[in-house]
Homo-oligomer: A and B are copies of this chain.
Amino acid sequence: MKIAVLGTGMVGETIGSKLVELGHDVRMGSRTATNEKAAAWAKKAGAKASAGTYADAAAFGELVFNCTAGNGSVEALAMAGEANIDGKVIVDIANPLDFSKGMPPSLFVSNTDSLGEQLQKRFPKTHIVKALNTMNCSIMVNPRSLPDTHTTFISGNDAGAKTKVKGVLAQFGWKDEEMLDLGDITTARGSESILPVWLRIWGATKNGAFNLKIVAAKP
């Protein structure tokens, strides 16, 4: 599949490299066509990898991964251009982290709204699917690196879009029973609210290589 990865940080690089490894054609998008990190990534990742502007990448991809910082996500999708993203599925991995009030970061939107909802509202013709935002990126693309099953939460308004995203996550190694569909995009308020506890578990255990598992009694 042709896939756009928006964002040149560690999450974008990790997702992009995994997608290339799986045989997809990946274009990494950033603010400028000459972003050095994106170019270096594309060179290292090989023939199926390329780099360009957010608009270049979005036009190229039939599926879009939003790996930008949460406070830059609206702007990144706006720069990608509605003509290039409308009708497409956007996997929203971003979190609304606010580093301006000290550490650990708080959230700039939470509780009665979410970043996922803000993106869906601002770009109503896209299909925003919140997923993978509750763990570090090495676990996103290699869920089997943990010694037990665990969970990624899925939120989105469109069932077909969620099925498409689950298909790619399955290629990453996610088992069907590990992908919990919480419901429509308002349920991103739930998964984004994991960040405050995620950060404090990391602080207490000094180990960011973890994820949460739902342990349920037999019904």
Interface residues in chain A, defined as those with a beta carbon under 8 Å from any beta carbon in chain B? 101, 106-107, 110-112, 145-150, 153, 180-183, 187, 189-191, 193-201, 203-207, 209-219
Min distance, Cβ A2 to any Cβ of chain B, angstroms: 32
Contact A216 B205, CB 8 Å, known A107-B111, A190-B196: yes
A106 / chain B contacts, CB cutoff of 8 Å: 111-112
Min distance, Cβ A75 to any Cβ of chain B, angstroms: 23
Which of A111, A209, A212 has most B Cβ within 10 Å? A111
Query: Are A190's CB and B197's CB within 8 A?
Result: yes
Alpha-carbon gap, A193 to B183, bound state (A): 19
Query: Are B215's CB and A146's CB within 8 A?
Result: yes
A211 / chain B contacts, CB cutoff of 8 Å: 214-215
Query: Are B217's CB and A204's CB within 8 A?
Result: no
A194 / chain B contacts, CB cutoff of 8 Å: 193-194, 197
Min distance, Cβ A24 to any Cβ of chain B, angstroms: 26
Other 5 A-B pairs with CB < 8 A, given A101-B112, A189-B196, A211-B214: A111-B111, A182-B204, A193-B193, A206-B219, A209-B219
Contact A216 B212, CB 8 Å, known A190-B199, A193-B194, A199-B190: no
Query: Are B182's CB and A215's CB within 8 A?
Result: no
Alpha-carbon gap, A169 to B219, bound state (A): 25
Query: Are A183's CB and B210's CB within 8 A?
Result: no
Min distance, Cβ A131 to any Cβ of chain B, angstroms: 14
Contact A212 B209, CB 8 Å, known A106-B112, A110-B110: no
Alpha-carbon gap, A182 to B205, bound state (A): 8
Of all chain B residues, the one with the shortest Cβ separation from A107 is B111
Min distance, Cβ A79 to any Cβ of chain B, angstroms: 28
Min distance, Cβ A138 to any Cβ of chain B, angstroms: 9
A207 / chain B contacts, CB cutoff of 8 Å: 216-217, 219
Min distance, Cβ A14 to any Cβ of chain B, angstroms: 15
A200 / chain B contacts, CB cutoff of 8 Å: 153, 182-183, 187, 189-190
A111 / chain B contacts, CB cutoff of 8 Å: 106-107, 110-111, 196
Which of A107, A181, A204, A219 has most B Cβ within 10 Å? A204
